[in-house]
Amino acid sequence: MTCHNALVNSRGFGETIRTINGSLECNRGGGGPVQSRVEQYKRICGILGVSPGNNLSC
* Residue 55 falls inside a structural domain: no
Residue-range definition of the domain harbouring residue 17: 3-48
**Tell me, what's the pLDDT at 45?**
96
The secondary structure of residue 8, as a DSSP letter, is: H
This prediction has a pTM of 0.78
57 Cβ neighbours under 8 A, 6+ residues apart: 13, 14, 17, 30, 34, 35, 38
* Residue 58 falls inside a structural domain: no
* Residue 54 falls inside a structural domain: no
Number of domains in the chain: 1
* Residue 57 falls inside a structural domain: no
* Residue 9 falls inside a structural domain: yes
* Residue 17 falls inside a structural domain: yes
**Tell me, what's the pLDDT at 58?**
80
**Tell me, what's the pLDDT at 46?**
97
Give per-residue pLDDT as tens, 12-50.
898 988 888 877 888 766 567 888 889 999 999 999 999
* Residue 24 falls inside a structural domain: yes
pLDDT band at 3 (very low <50, low <70, confident <90, very high): confident
What does the alpha-carbon distance between residue 1 and residue 23 come to, in Å, rounded to a whole number? 15
**Tell me, what's the pLDDT at 48?**
97
